[in-house]
Amino acid sequence: FKSLDAWNFVRQLNDSKPAKVFQNGMYDNAYFLRWNVPVRNWFYDTLHQFHSYLSELPKRLDFITAFSVRYVRYWKDDSAGSEHDLFEYNGRDCWATMMSCLALLSVPEWARKNYLEEFPLVFPCLTMELDGIAVNEKKFYEARAGVEATLEQHKAKLDRWLGPDFNPGSHVQVKNLLRALGIKNPESSDDAALTAYKAESPLAEHILDEVTAVRKANKLLSNYFVWDKFWQGRLHYKLNPAGTDTGRLASSESSFWCGYQIQNIPRGPQVKSYLEADVGYDGIAEVDYSQSEARCVAYLSGCMNLINLVESEYDYHSYNASKFFGVKYEEVTKDIRDLSKRTNHGANYNMGAVVMLQTMGPKNVLKAQKLLGLPAQWSLIQVCQFLLDAYARTYPEVKKDWYQHIIRTVTITNKLIVLGRTRYTFLDPSKSKPALNSLVAHGPQSLSVAIINKALYPLWRRTVYGDLRNRVRLKAQIHDSVLFTYIGQDTPPLVREAMINPQIIADIHGVERTMKIPVDLSIGKAPPSRFWSQLK
């Protein structure tokens, strides 16, 4: 602000009673709150209005305006020049936002219902973004030193084998290395390609393992071990309710241009070891929906074998292993269980054998071939197809009935409806396998996240206005889990109870059943746990 008068004017304007309209208002409101000029009655947001209507299309203001307003010219390059040009640009932005909002008030009823489900989530998301997670500086530098030591170990091997001038991050040099290893005309040198090339020979596997290890360590350091990414000792990040077609929150760096996205932190303790509970809070905990997507596939498809399994006392992946591979349930080993898990993942997302090979990697597919005693003359593609067919044989209704139902429904209506949320799609699953894969994944993902979102908002209200105020601070929604800090050993069970959210689900035949996803509570082996890494 240029003056106290300007600040006071904005404060009074924001506090006025009329409804407010924003485009991507989470960004604006983050800064308004930082400057202590909070907004009263933020009811409309064109980004969320448009996402609730046509989620697959771009959600920039210029695109929304071009879609919503008949006569408009492109104005996004008008801010360069004088201060007057900047003010005129801002005025055009405001006009475009208002006109788009008015036009989008006439969207179909299903889109309005989507908006009423989606828009309230901006408030818990904004709270979590502004709060962030505490970073322990000592633990941060200890973890970074560990990653740096690992990097040096792997790099030293490459230096001895290939010389100190070899750069694992150079695609040109790595392609030359691949040719030297006997791989003709390598099309790519990314990590997925290197995983496939490792099967060419033991030597290729030995060297490329070190190349990928160096890349992984470098990526870890550049993404998660730069202290300047934190602000006043805290990690901040953005959670966006309009970031995906399914309704699942998307994450990115904070609106304040710091931090990093919170949802894809690598497995392992390195990063989570320096993220800790807030000062004055006893510990950090996490609630997680158990086997959420598997249950959603079962109830949406109406496959009784799958429904009976997810509601039984059996371990899901061990039982599947016994059915897929003919192994007695009591004799399922950890390796076979892991193979069942990979098979289930591939089948749920309608992978083909080629994609499954790329996902699992030749090494793991060869391991599966030996583990199951499959014919030695089979190709790796045949092994992957065997794994996928095992799922189809066990749960034929999923691929046969459910997939066909998706194709018929979308071909006729261009819509998919999951727990009251409607997605209008431009995809054609009858002509495109990637389109079918996307829509197959949409059902369980959308249902799973809809259930967690329906519980998240009332839980957030309790932490701000109700009985959990000053006892719980929500940190992030990460796919099917919610991370939080707490005070009092009796508090985490209250959060777990709040997340239990049974829903009536109709399958493809119209049969309704009540689905209740179990909620696991993780507080660590010796609670209270101070660090995120101690939870699992």
Contact 119, 48 (CB under 8 A): yes
| Mutual angle of helices 362-371 and 380-394, in 10-degree steps | 60
Cβ–Cβ under 8 Å, residues 248 and 479:
yes
DSSP letters spanning 343-409: HHHHHHTT--HHHHHHHH-HHHHHHHHHHTT--TT--HHHHHHHHHHHHHHH-HHIIIIIHHHHHHH
CB 484 within 8 A of CB 473: yes
Residue 400: the pLDDT is 87
pLDDT in tens, the chain (536 residues): 889 999 999 999 999 999 999 999 999 999 999 999 999 999 999 999 999 999 999 999 999 999 999 999 999 998 888 889 999 999 999 999 999 999 999 999 999 999 999 999 999 999 999 999 999 999 999 999 999 999 999 999 999 999 999 999 999 999 999 999 999 999 899 998 898 888 888 899 999 999 999 999 999 999 999 999 999 999 999 999 999 999 999 999 999 999 999 999 998 899 999 999 999 999 999 999 999 999 999 999 999 999 999 999 999 999 999 999 988 999 999 999 999 998 988 888 888 998 888 888 888 888 899 999 999 999 989 999 999 999 999 999 998 899 999 999 999 999 999 999 999 999 999 999 999 999 999 999 999 999 999 999 999 999 999 999 999 999 999 989 999 999 999 999 999 999 999 999 999 999 999 999 999 999 999 999 999 999 97
- As a whole number of angstroms, the distance between CA 238 and CA 501 comes to 25
What whole-number distance in Å separates Cα of residue 293 and Cα of residue 446? 9
The pLDDT, as a whole number, for residue 198 is 86
Task: Compute the distance between CA of residue 458 and CA of residue 464 in angstroms, rounded to an integer.
Answer: 10
> Is the backbone peptide bond immediately before 528 cis, with ω within 30 degrees of 0?
yes
**Residue among 310, 246, 288, 299 nearest 515 (CA):** 299
State phi, psi for 168 to the nearest 5 degrees: -65, -20
* φ/ψ of residue 201, rounded to 5: -170, 160
- Residue 358 confidence (pLDDT): 81
Q: Which two tokens stand for residue 277?
A: 């509970």
What's the rounded Cα separation, in Å, for the pair 437 and 447? 16
**Cα 170 to Cα 89: distance, rounded to the nearest angstrom:** 42
